[in-house]
Amino acid sequence: IDDLLEMIGLVAEVQELKANPNKQAVGTVIEAELDKSRGPAASLLVQNGTLNVGDAIVVGNTYGRIRAMVNDLGKRIKSAGPSTPVEITGINDVPLAGDRVVVFGDEKQARRIGEARHEASVIQQRQESKNVSLDNLFEQMKQGEMKDLNVIIKGDVQGSVEALAASLMKIDVEGVNVRIIHTAVGAINESDVTLANASNGIIIGFNVRPDAGAKRAAEAENVDMRLHRVIYN
């Protein structure tokens, strides 16, 4: 670790990497979750500028105004400068790890950009779901004799979702191709059931439960839904 830190410091010095705390903040999401009491929360690293409570932000396809900010010691703070890890609340949905955090001048602008990104993401998701419809699935099976196991993953935090997806993709069963067609943080909802039904897939939930509408839809459409709290090797 010491050698790594020394090398990072050397590279930063040679390349003259600097941050300006007087600019509007830019950062990257490290982890995100849906907290039962606080709503969507994101842990992020401020990479440039200064992030303040009350700032209007866009985080990937989500947006909002920072309601509260906590540092890595669990202490509530009002501002965070470059290279500071913080957890924020006040966004409208759970972002993805790696999403870019950008501060905007006002909440209306942030909302407009966030909603536009979300709409583009939904359209892309719908287009992708057409590629895994039942018709295409059976056609692929006829041509290549390959069985696709289409999987939708929902979890309590983004890290769990990514770890579960990575584990499933390592499964090697002759004649079966595991396809992760959708992942997200939060409770299993009707949209998840609809997608699973259309793609002849299954839903795996880790530390989450289906809402009432999802339960009814899954029973009506006979969609296989597996709920787990512990993953065994």
d(CA 108, CA 65): 10
Confidence of residue 137 (pLDDT cuts 50, 70, 90): very low
Mean pLDDT for the chain?
A: 85
Whether residue 113 has pLDDT greater than 70: yes
Domain with CATH 2.40.30.10 in the chain: 15-123
Tokens of residue 57, six digits: 């932000």
pLDDT for the residue 5 = 78
Q: Which residue ranges does the chain devote to CATH 3.40.50.10050? A: 143-228
Residues 6+ apart with CB under 8 A from 111: 63
Q: What class has domain 15-123?
A: mainly beta
Pairing of strands 26-35, 100-104: antiparallel
Residue 44: pLDDT above 80? yes
Query: What would the two tokens of residue 113 be?
Result: 């950009």
143-228: what CATH class?
Answer: alpha beta
Q: Looking at 6-10, 26-30, 59-63, which range is the least confident one?
A: 6-10
Averaged pLDDT, 17-21: 81
Give residue 144's pLDDT.
54
Task: Please give the torsion angle defined by the CA atoms of residues 87, 92, 97 and 98, in that order, rounded to the nearest 10 degrees.
Answer: -100
pTM, entire model: 0.59
Q: Note the pLDDT of residue 125.
A: 64
Main-chain phi, psi angles of 20, to 5 degrees: -115, 105
